[in-house]
Each structure stands twice: as structure tokens, then as C-alpha cells.
Amino acid sequence: MAATLGRICGSKLLKSVPALNLQQANGLSTAKTWTNGQKKLVATIGALTGGVGALIYALEQSVEASGTEVHPPKMPWSHSGLISALDHSSVRRGYEVYKQVCSACHSMKYIAYRNLVGVTHTEAEAKAEAEGIMVRDGPDDAGNYYDRPGKLSDYFPSPYPNEEAARAANNGAYPPDLSYIVSARHGGEDYIFSLLTGYFDAPAGVVLREGQYFNPYFPGGAISMAQVLYNEVIEYQDGTPATQSQLAKDVATFLKWTSEPEHDVRKQMIIKVVGIMTFLAAITYYIKRHKWSALKSRKIFFVPKKD
């Protein structure tokens, strides 16, 4: 150890190094080699970047403030917490609302009956729901098409055969597919709830065409979809009072699930990741203390040679 310290001292590694003066520090800078043109170019790029960023932010705030629609308020959803799961009873009731009300105009072509199993229905219940529709299938061995009862692998049926038929039945408006509507609309389930419960009489000065209705949450205020949710418009199987707000809340929760079917799995993964990372952090801390305890607790003595 003494020999090691002697070599270190002999190599002058432990000697203090005088601080650099201003002239030496300037000599280390690479900016000194830049020409005036390069400096102006860098300054111009920086100014343009900052200006563009400020302009985009200002335009976004201006558009949000000058929009013709009312922004939906934030609702206290039970699934909005970091590790809060969807209310599956509400999801099931929302499916009833879609089936009895919304499916008359809106399709859900990306949702199959098998997706209901384990979420809102048992396998037997989902099979019974699927068998309630008739599906055009074929061709058979004779080359003919035929109708058969639905099965779990079938997707929700569309109320119209094509887009043209849908527009013809709705005064030229095309009812959007609802499979991912919550993810596709700014505001998510808050927007869906506010839209379904936000029908009012048109104020003075607002002109609506035939077949249009006033809803301040819809862009422009004029919407071709009539109000479809009223108190007791359907009857829930579980006996829950079917008020307008309850109907809107349940169908919005159902559409949240169809837009994010991995919602609960994702939040379960958060719990698992936090648990595993906590365990690994504790083990890492213990190993660090164990490995370094001998080095941190040892004492080094320098014993000079005696003449």
C-alpha cells in the first residue's frame, strides 16, 4: 500500500492543478473557430424554431378558445384512476343500450361476440346473443348463399348494407362506426356523455336545416342525430333505474371498453411492474450494501519507512 501511494505521489496525480485563466478557457472553445456567417445561421435557426413553436402553441390555444362547440366537462369516472378498472356491470348495461338504441343507426364492425365473453357475459350468454342475429354465409357445396344463426366469431351486424344506404336513411349524414369512437373523439367518454345529454332548443340566431338538432357539444352546434336517450327509454335487466344520465353513463363506459379492450389488463400490468420493480430495487440496495460494506468500513494506514 505504501509503495502504491509513493508511486501516485511520484506521478504528481495528487497535486493540485492551477485553474485556467480566461485566455486558456477561450482557447478551448470551438465557437471561436466559427465564421460570422455560421454564427448568424445558428442564431437564425434558433430564432425560427422558437418562433414556430410559439406560433403553433398560440394557434392551438386560439382554435380551442374560438371554437363553436362547448368543451365537455371532466366527469368523475370510476375507471379514471391510475389502477382503477372499468365497471363491468356498467359495461354490460351499456351493451344493452347499444343493442336496443344505438344499433339502429350505428355499426360496431370491429367488435365480435366473442369479445363479450369474460367481460360482460358468460360464454353461454354471448352465444345466445350471437344466435339472435342472422348472418349471410356461403357459398355451400351447391354454390348457394344462405342465412344462418350467428356464432361467437361473428361481428356485430351493421344496420345498413353500405354507406350510401346509411346516408339515404339519415338525410345525407353518415352515422360513424362506434367501435373506437371514444379514442377518436377529443374528450373521450366525457364527450360522449355530454353529447348524449346535451340537446337543447336552438338559441336565437341559430338556423337549423330540416332534420338537424341543436347540440352545443357538437362542432357547429347542428347535429343530424336526434336525441335518442330519455328516461325509461329501455328497461335494464338488473333493475337499475334507466334515467337519461344513467343510460348515457353506461353506454359511454361500454364504448370506452370497445375502444380500449386492453384497459384493465394495462392497469393490472402497472401493478405488476410496480411490484416487481420494488422487489428488484430492494434486492439491488441490499446487494449494494453487502458488496460495498467491506470497502466503506475498512481503514487505510500509511506507515512510513523507518530510517
Domain range annotation of the chain: 88-111+155-264
Mean pLDDT estimate for the chain:
87
Q: What's the pLDDT score for residue 14?
A: 44
Q: Residue 227: which pLDDT band, with cuts at 50, 70 and 90?
A: very high
**Domain spanning 88-111+155-264: CATH 3.40.190.10:** no
Cell digits for 243? 334515467
Is 12 a residue whose pLDDT tops 90?
A: no
Q: What's the pLDDT score for residue 16?
A: 44
Q: Which residue has the higher pLDDT, 166 or 16?
A: 166
Is 25 a residue whose pLDDT tops 80?
A: no
Q: What's the pLDDT score for residue 39?
A: 82
Where do the H-state alpha helices sit in 11-148? 22-28, 36-66, 88-100, 123-131
Q: What's the pLDDT score for residue 240?
A: 96
Q: What is the mean pLDDT of residues 212-241?
A: 94
Which helix (H) or strand (E) segment holds residue 214: the answer is: strand 213-214
Q: What is the mean pLDDT of residues 27-54?
A: 80
Which helix (H) or strand (E) segment holds residue 254: the answer is: helix 244-259
106: annotated binding-site residue? yes
Query: Burial letters for 27-41: b for 16+ Cβ neighbours within 10 Å, e otherwise?
Result: eeeeeeeeeeeeeee
Q: What is the mean pLDDT of residues 108-134?
A: 96
- Maximal CA-CA distance, the chain: 114
Distance CA 160, CA 154 (A): 17
Q: Residue 167: which pLDDT band, with cuts at 50, 70 and 90?
A: very high
193 CB-contact burial (10 Å; exposed 0-12 / middle 13-18 / buried 19+):
buried
CB 207 within 8 A of CB 222: no
Q: Which residue has the higher pLDDT, 55 or 281?
A: 281
9: annotated binding-site residue? no
Tell me phi and psi for residue 136, to 5 degrees.
-80, 120
Q: What's the pLDDT score for residue 190?
A: 97
Q: Residue 68: which pLDDT band, with cuts at 50, 70 and 90?
A: low
Choice among 5-19, 108-122, 220-234, 245-259 with the minimum mean pLDDT? 5-19
Distance CA 150, CA 136 (A): 9
pTM attached to this predicted model: 0.74
Is 42 a residue whose pLDDT tops 90?
A: no
Look at strands 222-223 and 213-214 and give their pairing. antiparallel
Distance CA 23, CA 92 (A): 76
Q: Residue 8: which pLDDT band, with cuts at 50, 70 and 90?
A: very low
Q: Interhelix angle for 244-259 vs 189-197, to 10°?
A: 150
